[in-house]
Structure 1
Amino acid sequence: MDKFSSERRSWVMSRVKSKHTKPELVVRRIVFGMGYRYRLHDKKLQGRPDLVFPGRKKVIFVNGCFWHGHLGCRYGQLPKTRVSFWEEKIQRNRARDIRNIATLEADGWRVLTVWQCELKNSEILASKLNEFIERR
């Protein structure tokens, strides 16, 4: 049973952002601190990647573990209520992510997905980001 009324739950869910989220801001701060410059949410690219490095033809998506169904992650677990609704929603999000990445890669872009749970260790994340951006 949900602890909120349906009206309250609707209001709470309406406050969930898709851009400039806390995980995205953490990744942006790390990348900027390493001296890299980027564009945000390029509307011309499939899926509007969170960070775009046009000169390097690289993009980074910062995904929430719950919303994008991170497999094997404790944050990616489905709620206990309305299970079929959430399964369908998360599956649609995953399918969309796969299509977006495939389209970008077909157009010659290199893609990195950073998961919300990876933000726990900033040193490992910084190393991963630096390796991705610098790799040819």
Structure 2
Amino acid sequence: MADVHSKAIRSKNMRAIATRDTAIEKRLAGLLGEAGFGFRVQDAELAGKPDFVLDDYRCIIFTHGCFWHHHDCYLFKVPATRTDFWLEKIGKNVERDRRDISRLRDEGWRVLVVWECALRGRAKLSDAALKERLEEWICSGGAQAEIDTLGIHATERERPAPPA
């Protein structure tokens, strides 16, 4: 199936996709603020340039778009055109996410990924449910988790045991 747009129009459309202050980031920032959490945004000194950094809790929060980061949900659809290109590009995003999260964890940060589907769409969580999950994880001391339409899930990677 051919792209319905010319290369120039497709390129213009892709450049217009925001990388900061997106609607899902704004919603999450509002919920964190309402819950009384202080945070910094888009810290370029940290791996992956996290969307939110909560220094008091040693927490990092990423908001991941379901398409760009290949979440297995109803918002992710494999493109019908240039499929190999898109799958390779998205695969590199996923690998970079793993590398960045691993680095942050090695540096002692706790990491939470909030998926786009939890923040928008037909199955999104309510503000109250989302705020409750955020507070639960931030205050719990859990090392690594993600929030999607089903709620919160621990995703801690295997870590080597400390030397005896």
Q: If the length of structure 2 is used for normalisation, what is the TM-score?
A: 0.79
C-alpha displacement at 1:124, in angstroms? Answer: 2.3
Considering Cα pairs closer than 8 Å and 6+ residues apart, tell me whether 1 or 2 has the greater RCO: 1
d(CA) in 1 for partners of 2:67, 2:16? 16
Spell out the pairing of 1:77-88 with structure 2 (5 A cutoff).
77-88=77-88
Query: Is there any run of 5+ residues in structure 2 with no aligned partner, and where?
Result: 142-164
- Alignment correspondent of 1:111: 111
d(CA) in 2 for partners of 1:28, 1:55? 16
- Alignment correspondent of 1:70: 71
Q: Extract structure 1 runs of 4+ deviating beyond 6 A.
A: none
Q: 1:121 aligns with which of 119, 125, 141?
A: 125
> What's the secondary structure of 2:75's corresponding residue?
helix
d(CA) in 2 for partners of 1:121, 1:57? 25
Q: Going by fraction, where is helix more abundant, 1 or 2?
A: 1
* Matched residue type, 2:80: K
RMSD of aligned Cα (Å)? 0.9
Q: 1:130 aligns with which of 135, 157, 163?
A: 135
C-alpha displacement at 1:4, in angstroms? Answer: 1.2
* Matched residue type, 1:99: R
d(CA) in 2 for partners of 1:77, 1:125? 24
d(CA) in 1 for partners of 2:50, 2:78? 25
1:22-50 Cα offsets, whole Å, 9 max, x none, are: 11111111111111110001111111100
d(CA) in 1 for partners of 2:31, 2:4? 36
Spell out the pairing of 1:1-136 with structure 2 (5 A cutoff).
1-71=2-72, 73-119=73-119, 120-122=124-126, 123-136=128-141
